[in-house]
Structure 1
Amino acid sequence: MAAAALRHLALRARPAPHGRGAGTPLLRLPQRRGLRLSAPAAIQVTVRDALNQALDEELERDERVFLLGEEVAQYDGAYKISRGLWKKYGDKRVIDTPISEMGFAGIAVGAAMAGLRPVCEFMTFNFSMQAIDQVINSAAKTCYMSSGSISVPIVFRGPNGAAAGVAAQHSQCFAAWYGHCPGLKVVSPWSSEDAKGLLKASIRDDNPVVMLESELLYSVPFEMSEQAQSKEFIIPIGKAKIERQGTHVTLVAHSRPVGHCLEAAAVLSKEGVECEVINLRTIRPMDIETVEASVVKTNHLVTVEGGWPQFGVGAEICARIMEGPAFNYLDAPAVRVTGADVPMPYAKILEDNSIPQVKDIVFAVKKTLNI
């Protein structure tokens, strides 16, 4: 009865529409222990804006943090991730570089060794191939080779994976490439909360982190909780998230394919199949414990990724499950859904058939469940 009365008061206290006493103040109701008057204030935020927030908050929090890369300053970033930051923090904190990935990645690694915390943006991770010696041989191995006396707190970030209509040299996933290398941490966000929380955690980490974003997700809005809007919100590196609970099959993905898995799960739910969807979030170190616990519950496993099949992220997950205790709970072989084993075609119809689609995931689940 008390809840109903409060609800009635709240409805009466709402301001009238514009032009009909719109200035009437909202009645403030007393707080009662154990009674929620409204849900937390979640808002819609694009992945682009979430990354921008994270950079802004970390530049403000720690004067050692700086951003460098091609067009990140005066142009506000090729994808507008760094929009407004140059005007706010100036030339010493947000730095435009020449088109020389090997050069500016090396400068960033040296700065990290000297005690700064650079965020090194690659306009796309395809271009990181020009700087892979700096990432693998300088950033990833220095702490180990110095017996822990020299840390390299650096973030390499930018768009990764399939784009749209840019063909083979600009549309490939590097998760398996960088996930292969000890000394690196590798994160791959899906939602806006992932993007903000993982970028802030990566900047604060004392190890080199590769952050693989999706160009196709930058403009996509996701709900961001009240907690995620906090300046101290971080997502621990190395911890996966169960995006949907299920009992019949485990779907594991990272980056954009997480959304495809959720769509496939919604389709399959109408046919009585309940999928548990795991957002991996981190490629290295991999949270295999969350995957194992899910497989023990569902007895089936399907991995989904945009990268190539051979030596891929899904192959690693399947191997770890086979080698661990969860293998005994599998009722069918694990199945991988991956990109096609070809360089990315330019033609749209071929491109679409080279990237995992929702129908491919549905087909793989039905094959696994023998339905």
Structure 2
Amino acid sequence: MRKITMRTALMEALNEEMERDDTTVLFGEDVGKFGGINAVTKGLYEKFGGTRVFDTPIAEPTIVAAAVGMAITGNARPIPELQFGDFVGIAFDEVFNKMGKWRFMHGGQMEMPVTLRLPIGIAGGAGPEHSQSPQALFMHGPGLQIVIPSTPYDAKGLLKTAIRDNNAVLFFEHKVLYDMKGEVPEEEYLIPFGKADIKKEGDDVTIIATALQVHTALEAAEELSAKGIEVEVVDPRTLAPLDMETILQSVKKTGRVLIVHEEPKTGGSGAEIAAQIQERALFDLSAPIKRLGSPDVPIAQSIYLEQFYTPSKEQIITAVDELMEY
């Protein structure tokens, strides 16, 4: 099977869905002629024209509000992009209340087919307002679906599903993963929401990881396997809906759990996952649940310091070793 980058996989998904449905429109800061600061929308302006792919002012509330307005008319399927996921805070009301709640508040008279693309993650000294991973904030927002792929295959299949969905989707893309290659079939496929993926099977410890940390966990698992510890790596792929059944099956098998994400540890998505495991599988556990996340401080501007914010392979190995002591 061919190998392509996540960037290319996302570009293909956007291109295919815009070809399939001429009500699909894409807009945001510099997504038109420039092709996006991460080059994910490159070539789409030239192919589909300025009425379907267009630039906006630097005005995140307006970008999201415009998408909501387009969606509720029933005449458009908007895909707005914010240059950095951090900027979602500027448009918080439009996302948290309007995108998430309006279909419910209006008795289902309208649909909300908005896919909001949000680049996230620590990469290259972008600093505390351009490097965050705010996805856990929206696990507290009813009506919002949260997608966070870790591979090109997942990115393409999940984005196509998101664009076709008639409910609001927040699609988080880790910036470091844009250049990562993986196998992606040429034929069309969709990946359903709420279905986790077991990236590696194992019997000793379950690691639940998202985005870039899936790959860090897999690197750690390879080293751990060399010393006889077999780790199972589970990627939720979507945080809302959250596939707890797959997670609980893995926990029942291994009895030991480590949750790893780049979000701050306090109140991160791992806290919710840990709580649900405790509620539903306490007696399957052989050890306390462990979590690894970023420290609860703003992300450093320095490229030399920012590396200490993300959980490392060494930290994962140490945590797994500690779990095996029980």
Length-normalised TM-score, structure 2? 0.98
CA-CA distance at 1:158 after TM superposition: 2.5
CA-CA distance at 1:167 after TM superposition: 1.3
Aligned twin of 1:137: 97
Q: How do residues 175-190 of structure 1 correspond to structure 2 at under 5 angstroms? A: 175-190=135-150
- Assess if the C-alpha contact under 8 Å between 1:248 and 1:276 holds in 2: yes
CA-CA distance at 1:348 after TM superposition: 2.6
Corresponding position: 1:47 with 2:6: yes
Q: Distance in 2 between matches of 1:357 and 1:277?
A: 15
- Assess if the C-alpha contact under 8 Å between 1:261 and 1:277 holds in 2: yes
CA-CA distance at 1:70 after TM superposition: 0.6
Q: Which runs of 5+ in 1 are unaligned?
A: 1-41
Aligned residues: 325
Higher relative contact order (CA 8 A, sep 6+): 2
Corresponding position: 1:265 with 2:221: yes
Corresponding position: 1:172 with 2:127: no
The structure number with the bigger radius of gyration is 1
Q: Distance in 1 between matches of 2:181 and 2:247?
A: 27
Corresponding position: 1:219 with 2:158: no
Q: How do residues 230-249 of structure 1 correspond to structure 2 at under 5 angstroms? A: 230-231=187-188, 233-249=189-205
Q: Distance in 1 between matches of 2:123 and 2:42?
A: 21
Decide which of 331, 336, 354 is 2:286's aligned counterpart: 331
Aligned twin of 1:363: 318
CA RMSD of aligned residues (A): 1.0
Decide which of 90, 102, 115 is 2:61's aligned counterpart: 102
CA-CA distance at 1:164 after TM superposition: 2.1
Kindly provide the CA deviation profile for residues 257-297 of structure 1, in whole angstroms up to 9, marking residues without a partner as x.
00001000001000100000001100111111101000000
Q: Distance in 2 between matches of 1:263 and 1:255?
A: 14
Code of the aligned partner of 2:290:
V
Aligned twin of 1:33: none
**After the TM superposition, which segments of 4 or more aligned residues of structure 1 sit over 6 Å from their partners?**
none
Q: Secondary structure at the match of 2:208?
A: strand
Code of the aligned partner of 2:210:
H
Q: Distance in 2 between matches of 1:129 and 1:334?
A: 31
Q: How do residues 13-92 of structure 1 correspond to structure 2 at under 5 angstroms? A: 42-92=1-51
- Assess if the C-alpha contact under 8 Å between 1:161 and 1:174 holds in 2: no
CA-CA distance at 1:351 after TM superposition: 1.1
Q: Distance in 2 between matches of 1:180 and 1:288?
A: 17
Aligned twin of 1:342: 297
CA-CA distance at 1:347 after TM superposition: 2.2
CA-CA distance at 1:310 after TM superposition: 1.1
Q: Distance in 2 between matches of 1:350 and 1:73?
A: 34
Q: Distance in 2 between matches of 1:300 and 1:223?
A: 30
Q: Secondary structure at the match of 1:136?
A: helix
Code of the aligned partner of 1:287:
D
Aligned twin of 1:150: 110
Kindly provide the CA deviation profile for residues 104-137 of structure 1, in whole angstroms up to 9, marking residues without a partner as x.
2111110000111100101011112111111111
Decide which of 193, 198, 211 is 1:255's aligned counterpart: 211
Decide which of 239, 244, 247 is 1:283's aligned counterpart: 239
Aligned twin of 1:208: 168
- Assess if the C-alpha contact under 8 Å between 2:122 and 2:306 holds in 1: no
- Assess if the C-alpha contact under 8 Å between 2:121 and 2:176 holds in 1: no
Decide which of 83, 97, 101 is 1:123's aligned counterpart: 83
- Assess if the C-alpha contact under 8 Å between 1:247 and 1:298 holds in 2: yes
CA-CA distance at 1:161 after TM superposition: 2.2
- Assess if the C-alpha contact under 8 Å between 1:152 and 1:207 holds in 2: yes
